[in-house]
C-alpha cells in the first residue's frame, strides 16, 4: 500500500465524506457547505475541461497519478463538454453528490462515472481535499461575516424589488462552495430547490463582490414576478423584453449593495461595472436599466412604472 493511500484511509476513518456534507454555517437562511464529493466532481470537470485548471500531479506516486488520470479520462469522455448548469443531467449529478454520504453506489450514476469517483476519492482526500476544504471554509467565513453585517438592511430591499419574500427556516437555499468550479464563477438551479454553486477561487467572487454574487445567485429563486412583469410589458409594447431580467437582476443586487455599503463609508463597485460585464454583454440595455430601475431605487418611480419605462426605452 502506498503512503498516500494509507493516509487517505486514516482520514476516511476519522472523517469520511458524510462528515464533509455537514453544513458549515447558515446566514440569511442561506445554507453554506463545503462538500467533499461536490469538490471532487468540480475538480475533475475543470481539470478535464481546461488546461489552466490542470492539477499538478508530478510529485504524486505512480498509483495516485494513474487513479487521477483514469478518472480524468471518464470526465473527458462523458462530462467535460457538458455545461455544469445547462448540460444534460449535470445539475442532477451535482444535486445528488452534494448530499452524498460515504457511498455513492445508489445515486444512479453510470458505472464508469461511479467507479471513477470511488477509485479517485482516496487520492483526492489525501492530496487536494484538505487544502480545498480549508480555502472553501476561509471563503465562507469571510463572505458570511460580511453578509451578517448588511443582511438586515439589504434583504428587505431585495424582497421589495422581487416582490417575493426572502428565504426562511421553511424555505432555505443551499450554497455549495467549491474551490475550482465553473468558468462563470457561480451558477444556480431552482428545481426542486434553490441550489447555488460558487467557485471560491474565482478572483471576481472575493470580499464584498463575493457577498454580492452570493445574493445574486440566491436571487435566481425569487425572479418569477420580475420575469412575468417584463414579459407582460413586452407583449403590451410589442417588444421582446425576454433578455432584460438577468441584467436587471445584476443591477439591482449590485446597486443595493453599493448604496448600503456607502452608508458605512465603504466604496464598492458592483460586479456589472467592476468586471465590465454590463458593457460586454448588455450595453444595449445599460442606459435604460440605470435610468428606470435607478428611479425605482431612488423612490422616484413605483415598481410598475419603472418596469413599463424600462421596456419602453429598449
Domain-wise residue ranges, the chain: 3-141+170-178, 223-313
The pLDDT tens digits for 192-249 are 899 999 999 999 999 999 999 999 999 999 999 999 999 999 999 999 998 999 999 9
Q: What is the pLDDT of residue 23?
A: 87
The pLDDT tens digits for 103-120 are 899 999 999 999 999 999
First and final CA of the chain: distance in angstroms?
66
Query: Structure pTM?
Result: 0.91
Q: How confident is the model at residue 21 (pLDDT cuts 50, 70, 90)?
A: low
Q: What is the pLDDT of residue 185?
A: 86
d(CA 146, CA 185): 19
- Sequence-ordered list of residues with C-beta below 8 angstroms from that of 190, at least 6 positions apart, any chain: 220, 221
Confidence check: pLDDT of 7 > 50: no
The pLDDT tens digits for 279-311 are 999 999 999 999 999 999 999 999 999 999 999
Q: How confident is the model at residue 51 (pLDDT cuts 50, 70, 90)?
A: confident
Element (H, E) at 187: strand 186-189
Task: For residue 299, give the 3-state DSSP assignment.
Answer: coil
Average pLDDT, the chain: 92
Cis peptide before 192 (omega within 30 of 0): yes
DSSP state string for 245-292: HHHHHHHHHHHHHHHHHHTTT-----HHHHS-HHHHH-HHHHHHHHHH
Amino acid at each position: 500500500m502506498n503512503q498516500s493511500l494509507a493516509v487517505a484511509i486514516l482520514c476516511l476513518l476519522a472523517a469520511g465524506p458524510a462528515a464533509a456534507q455537514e453544513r458549515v454555517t447558515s446566514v440569511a437562511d442561506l445554507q453554506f457547505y463545503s462538500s467533499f464529493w461536490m469538490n471532487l466532481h468540480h475538480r475533475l470537470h475543470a481539470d478535464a475541461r481546461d488546461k489552466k485548471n490542470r492539477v499538478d500531479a508530478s510529485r504524486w506516486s505512480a498509483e495516485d497519478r494513474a487513479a487521477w488520470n483514469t478518472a480524468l479520462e471518464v470526465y473527458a469522455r462523458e462530462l467535460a463538454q457538458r455545461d455544469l448548469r445547462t448540460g444534460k443531467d449535470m445539475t442532477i449529478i451535482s444535486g445528488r453528490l452534494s448530499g452524498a454520504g460515504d457511498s455513492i453506489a445508489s445515486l444512479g450514476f453510470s458505472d464508469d462515472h461511479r467507479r471513477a469517483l470511488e477509485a479517485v476519492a482516496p487520492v483526492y482526500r489525501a492530496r487536494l481535499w484538505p487544502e480545498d476544504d480549508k480555502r472553501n471554509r476561509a471563503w465562507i467565513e469571510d463572505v458570511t461575516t460580511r453578509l451578517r453585517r448588511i443582511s438586515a438592511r439589504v434583504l428587505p430591499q431585495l424582497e421589495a424589488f422581487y416582490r417575493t419574500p426572502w428565504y426562511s427556516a421553511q424555505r432555505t437555499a443551499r450554497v455549495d462552495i467549491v474551490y475550482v468550479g465553473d468558468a462563470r464563477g457561480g451558477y444556480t438551479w431552482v428545481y426542486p430547490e434553490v441550489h447555488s454553486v460558487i467557485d471560491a477561487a474565482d478572483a471576481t467572487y472575493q470580499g464584498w463582490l463575493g457577498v454580492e454574487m452570493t445574493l445574486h445567485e440566491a436571487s435566481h429563486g425569487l425572479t418569477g414576478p420580475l420575469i412575468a412583469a417584463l414579459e407582460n410589458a413586452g407583449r403590451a409594447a410589442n417588444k421582446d423584453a425576454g433578455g432584460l431580467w438577468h441584467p436587471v437582476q445584476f443591477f439591482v443586487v449590485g446597486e443595493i449593495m453599493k448604496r448600503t455599503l456607502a452608508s458605512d463609508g465603504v466604496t464598492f463597485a458592483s460586479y456589472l461595472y467592476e468586471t465590465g460585464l454590463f458593457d460586454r454583454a448588455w450595453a444595449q440595455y445599460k442606459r435604460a436599466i440605470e435610468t428606470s430601475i435607478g428611479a425605482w431605487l431612488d423612490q422616484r418611480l413605483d415598481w410598475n412604472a419603472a418596469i413599463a419605462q424600462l421596456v419602453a426605452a429598449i
